[in-house]
Structure 1
Amino acid sequence: MNRTAHERFWPRGLPRTLHFPRTSLWYNLEVAATRYPDKAAIVFYDTVIRYAQLRERVDRLAAFLQQRCGVRRGDRVALFSQNCPQYIVAYYAILRADAAVVPVNAMSTAGEFDYYLADSGASVGVVARDLFASARAAVDEGRLRHAVVLEYADALEAPTDMQVPNWVSARSAPVEHPAVTAWADALGAGLAPAPHLAGPDDLCVLPYTSGTTGHPKGCIHTHYTMTCSLVGSAFWRGLSSESVALGVAPMFHLLGMQNGMNLPICLGGTVAMLPRWDPAAAATLIERYGVSVWTAPPAMLVDFFAQPDIGSRDLSSLAVLTGGGAAMPESVATMLHDRFGLAYLEGYGMTETASFLHGNPPHRPKRQCLGMPTFEVDSRIVDPETLEELPQGETGELITSAPQVMLGYWNNPQANEQAFIERDGKRFLRTGDLACLDEDGYFFMRDRLKRMINASGYKVWPAEVENLMYGHPDIHEVCVIGVRDARRGETVKAFVVPKPPARGTLTAEAIETWCRTMMSAYKVPRIVEFIDALPKSATGKVSWRELQEREAAGKES
């Protein structure tokens, strides 16, 4: 296989290799604040936080974490919030305190939150007031020995004519608990942090991604692995300190964390952010603050450009539109090009690779394509059983070796043994994705080796959902698969065999309502089909693949 074919189409003027900085992510903020103290670092609706202000707030919270919460170098600190300026302050304060961030999905239930704490060993957290109910048991029972609680409304420091959701502008009663400190009180303590000691090889962030067993696994990312992804992305996309990024993807997810927060701060640029996806507000931010780069999954862009008045909005500043997680529909890509002169530059990355890994060259992109390996990235296609490299055009498992690949899974040697292989003196990550390589060296996704559903960029593992659904008193058997969805890319479907007494009376609506109390919203089956029996193999195993294939055939017929 000619793995270097793509070099014929390498972006002109870019080197084949990069010298990656050996510094911490917090150092990026220190440099930006020193260079551009009065420049806008964050725009939240019409509130502007400048780099000098951001650094000061980070220092104060870092000091509080160190001196009042006992956070030490290498500790893990949970961060449980929707997007807001305080999220960025907390993230960098944890790094400033030489600790590592454990980003918790804002849709997590109390049980899921407890799992993140137990597995990561985090005993201190920063929690948004609206999510505190899911953390309360951990605080009451001492698993979270100290929590700093933030209120979104505190970030609305300037008047705005934009429509701010009530859940953002509303204020709640403060939490009265000896282990809880209000955000304002933590920063108001006026403490000064100890010297920053963390370096490139220290643990930086421990994001969780689910595995085939349904148990989330922590991905060990150092400051260096995160930095390699950021710097590679900036060079590949031609970004600079004057870039303004739209930060609307969730920052607890690597897509939003890296592209909507860490990348603009690394460059000394600006992030215009929203707490949740709001297409009308996103259009206003683009117009008002000159957003120039936006990384988003296709579902978000489909929603954005479907607004009735989008043709009358001034989107002229938007120059770089990137993303991944699902293929961009051909009709939407054509509309973007014909009506707005925008090319959607699809890429490929995973939580395990700190997001950016492959990219389409800006001057010669291909549609519905994973792009090509970028700086220092060696990706190959192998037979998933023999691990022998396959010739060009054949479908196999994509494996990759790159400086941004995680060190491994946290406290999970068995998963590491399954995830990594050695080849030609390099350590390769088995991605579990089935892909093929074309004659130009571009990679195309074909299927998933692992049984995983990608719903709007969120990974959903059927085994986990099934295990929870078996707790329903009226469900006898259940099998969960992914089905195509125009908006989410994929959505969750459950085939349910009710227990005899519930047959004819159990409804899909009742199951969905029950599921919403047991699992994060993105995991809840949006489609429920009742059947008399699940197909099974000769050994008695449920033939989920048969249901998947039957569903796909039905969609095509």
Structure 2
Amino acid sequence: MPQLTRHLAHWPTGVPHTLAVPDRNLFDHLAQYAISQPCKPAIEYYGRLINYQELYQGATRLAGYLQKRLNIHRGDRVLLLMQNCPQFAIAYYAILRCDAVVVALSPMSATDEIEHYATDCGATVLIATQDLLPAALPLLSNGILASCVVGAYSEYAGDAEHVPYIRIPQVVSAPFSVSPQRGLHAFPGALAAGLTPSSSSAKGSDLAVIAYTSGTTGKPKGAMLSHRALVHSVEQRMLWLGLSDVPTSLAALPANHLAGMGQMNTALASGRCMIWLTRWDAVAALELIERRSVAIVGGVATMMAEMVELLKASPWRDMSSVRGVMAGGTHIPESLANAIEHYFHVPLLESYGMTETCGPTHLNPPHATRRHCAGIPQINVDSRVLDLETGAELGPNQEGELVSNTVTLFLGYWNLPQDTRAAMIEIDGKPFVRTGDIGYYDDEGYFYITDRLKRMINASGLKVWPGEIEYVLHEHPLVQDACVISARDTRRGETVKALVVLQPVLGSNLTPAELEQWCRASMAAYKVPRMIEFVNALPKSSTGKIQWKVLQAHQDRLDRMMSPE
């Protein structure tokens, strides 16, 4: 089947269908604005402004220190363990300036997880902030890490005098208080050393980032992302959204995650000022949007819901500066989507992508958005839908596995060639990544994601996709959140179980039987949850995604305990 083209009828005006990007190091984006507009603000952090020249100098000086004091060479992997802060950007671009590889870790990483990442990719140097250092210190003691550069958020933060309308978290205002120890290097001292890095030679095809992503089984796998893929992803986004003239954006997502990393790279590549908060704070976000005339807001459903609730209580707030609200990765209930558009006065732009494609492969056209829709394949993206049983290509409105070919495709999983081969499929002589997501495209070429392939529940031979059931549960007025998993059933093999968080106070009188009846009115009987459990909260990742794998693993353990031997 030829490449899908029907979506081109909805293509944004002025956006090219194909794009060639320079063979450059991602660091070059930062360098160009440090030269052309050195005094322009690059980051605002609790009222303090860091301009492009300061950011560039910090990155180059840290690069010199990494090379000449910590022996970082071309291709070496360096761990980055921080929450959102200027040091993250400085360290990120310093590593790239060394022609080394960024391995950004979740701030929630435990010691054992950091050890896995370090040993898996062979990293011996970590750059961290003092609040997260305790989890890494045992690895300095046992020799897994040779060195750690550590700083404090307060070194780059403003204070209450600069932003009296924002509550500055204690972790941000705390002074540097790390005791000297062998292998520890102070972040300010590294920059003050004034060491000049060697010339850079890494370009488009070279490895820039290893992004660890959870698999369905086993340890996280390191997706290898090239400079070319990351540069192309940035250029795609700027052209598609047509926001190259935007002066200010609020980067709310964690920068260690590809989505937050994309926010950072896109902002700095377009020369805008990026506002960062170390801890998500909806009150502070709205204050900053209004006072700093923020034009771009991006986040996950939970962040958007918090801001909407505050706007309901203070509808007088001026959100007129906002030109784009972007969301992806999680389901956006219809009621929330309506509220976002009502209070921000712009269409909600939903998107779809994955770590292995450096972020979004599908975006809604800004002039023709659809609800609960991944959007259309963007520049240089070829997406198909394959039959789950035969692998044959499917046509419009036929549900199967989504596969994509894109210039932003990853280079493979670090040291896992077998897993890399399993993740890929060749079509028409081109490599396509198997997303593991179930979906379809409609008659106009818009794509819709309905579920994860690995989440399929097989109930008496009938396939049940949890996402479809969660959608119905979210529509109940007393349901705040929901996650559907499989549970063992002696008759059906597997059955459907729903873990549900009710709306505070309002949902106190709802019973599982009543919610089950609600589901029966909206779906086939075999899809209706046979087990409904009300819980206080659902585990979520740093980007707001429900960790259904954690819930499924817990249920599997319960099922094993209850099953007769």
- TM interval, shorter chain, is 0.7 to 0.9
Distance 2:564 2:397 in 1: 33
Q: Conserved in 1, the CA contact under 8 Å of 2:46 and 2:158? A: no
What is the root-mean-square deviation of aligned Cα atoms in Å? 3.3
Give 1:139's aligned residue: 140
Per-residue CA deviation, residues 433-473 of structure 1 (Å, 9 max, x unaligned), is 00011111000111110249999xxxx9x99xxxxxxxxxx
Distance 2:555 2:233 in 1: 45
Q: How far apart are 1:107 and its partner, in Å?
A: 0.3
SS in 2 for 1:220: strand
Distance 2:250 2:564 in 1: 46
1:196 and 1:437, CA in 2 relative to 1: closer, same or farther beyond 3 A?
same
Counterpart selection for 2:364 from 360, 370, 374? 360
Q: How far apart are 1:196 and its partner, in Å?
A: 1.8
Once the two structures are superposed, the pairs formed by residues 21-420 of structure 1 within 5 Å of their partners are 21-157=22-158, 159-160=161-162, 161=164, 162-171=166-175, 173-259=177-263, 261-307=264-310, 309-420=313-424
**Segment drifting more, 181-190 vs 384-393:** 384-393
Instruction: Return structure 1 stretches of 4+ with deviation > 4 angstroms.
Output: 452-455, 479-487, 520-533
Distance 1:232 1:541 in 2: 55
Distance 2:557 2:355 in 1: 38
Give 2:20's aligned residue: 19
Q: How far apart are 1:82 and its partner, in Å?
A: 0.5
Q: Residue type of the partner of 2:288?
A: L
Distance 1:530 1:483 in 2: 11
Q: Conserved in 1, the CA contact under 8 Å of 2:154 and 2:176? A: no
Distance 1:228 1:480 in 2: 41
Q: Residue type of the partner of 1:450?
A: K
Give 2:519's aligned residue: none
Q: How far apart are 1:484 and its partner, in Å?
A: 6.3
Aligned length: 494
Q: Residue type of the partner of 1:53?
A: E
1:407 and 1:310, CA in 2 relative to 1: closer, same or farther beyond 3 A?
farther
Q: Conserved in 2, the CA contact under 8 Å of 1:297 and 1:324? A: yes
Distance 1:151 1:123 in 2: 21
SS in 2 for 1:389: coil
SS in 2 for 1:171: coil
Q: Conserved in 2, the CA contact under 8 Å of 1:272 and 1:289? A: no
1:109 and 1:536, CA in 2 relative to 1: closer, same or farther beyond 3 A?
closer
Q: How far apart are 1:61 and its partner, in Å?
A: 0.6
Flag structure 1 segments of 5+ consecutive residues without an equivalent: 464-478, 488-507, 543-557
Give 2:492's aligned residue: none
Distance 1:367 1:212 in 2: 28
Q: How far apart are 1:407 and its partner, in Å?
A: 1.1
Distance 1:378 1:42 in 2: 35
Q: Conserved in 2, the CA contact under 8 Å of 1:327 and 1:369? A: no
Distance 1:167 1:212 in 2: 34
Matched, 1:436 2:440: yes
Distance 1:372 1:521 in 2: 25
Flag structure 2 segments of 5+ consecutive residues without an equivalent: 457-465, 471-482, 487-494, 504-533
Give 2:460's aligned residue: none
| TM-score between both structures, scaled by the size of structure 1 | 0.82
Per-residue CA deviation, residues 310-344 of structure 1 (Å, 9 max, x unaligned), is 42222111111112102221112222223431211
1:196 and 1:526, CA in 2 relative to 1: closer, same or farther beyond 3 A?
same
1:530 and 1:34, CA in 2 relative to 1: closer, same or farther beyond 3 A?
closer
1:283 and 1:338, CA in 2 relative to 1: closer, same or farther beyond 3 A?
closer
Distance 2:229 2:219 in 1: 24
Counterpart selection for 2:426 from 412, 422, 427? 422
Give 1:448's aligned residue: 452
SS in 2 for 1:89: helix
Q: Residue type of the partner of 2:409?
A: V
Identity %: 38
SS in 2 for 1:135: helix
1:247 and 1:53, CA in 2 relative to 1: closer, same or farther beyond 3 A?
same
Distance 2:394 2:187 in 1: 55
SS in 1 for 2:188: helix
Give 1:500's aligned residue: none
Distance 1:93 1:480 in 2: 49
Q: Residue type of the partner of 2:293?
A: G
Q: Conserved in 2, the CA contact under 8 Å of 1:45 and 1:285? A: no
| TM-score between both structures, scaled by the size of structure 2 | 0.81
Q: How far apart are 1:384 and its partner, in Å?
A: 2.5
Per-residue CA deviation, residues 23-45 of structure 1 (Å, 9 max, x unaligned), is 11100000011111110000001
1:379 and 1:522, CA in 2 relative to 1: closer, same or farther beyond 3 A?
closer
1:287 and 1:339, CA in 2 relative to 1: closer, same or farther beyond 3 A?
closer
1:232 and 1:484, CA in 2 relative to 1: closer, same or farther beyond 3 A?
farther
1:522 and 1:135, CA in 2 relative to 1: closer, same or farther beyond 3 A?
farther
1:444 and 1:523, CA in 2 relative to 1: closer, same or farther beyond 3 A?
closer
Distance 1:409 1:391 in 2: 31
Q: Residue type of the partner of 1:272?
A: I
SS in 1 for 2:413: coil
Q: Conserved in 2, the CA contact under 8 Å of 1:243 and 1:293? A: no
Distance 1:274 1:363 in 2: 30
1:138 and 1:523, CA in 2 relative to 1: closer, same or farther beyond 3 A?
farther
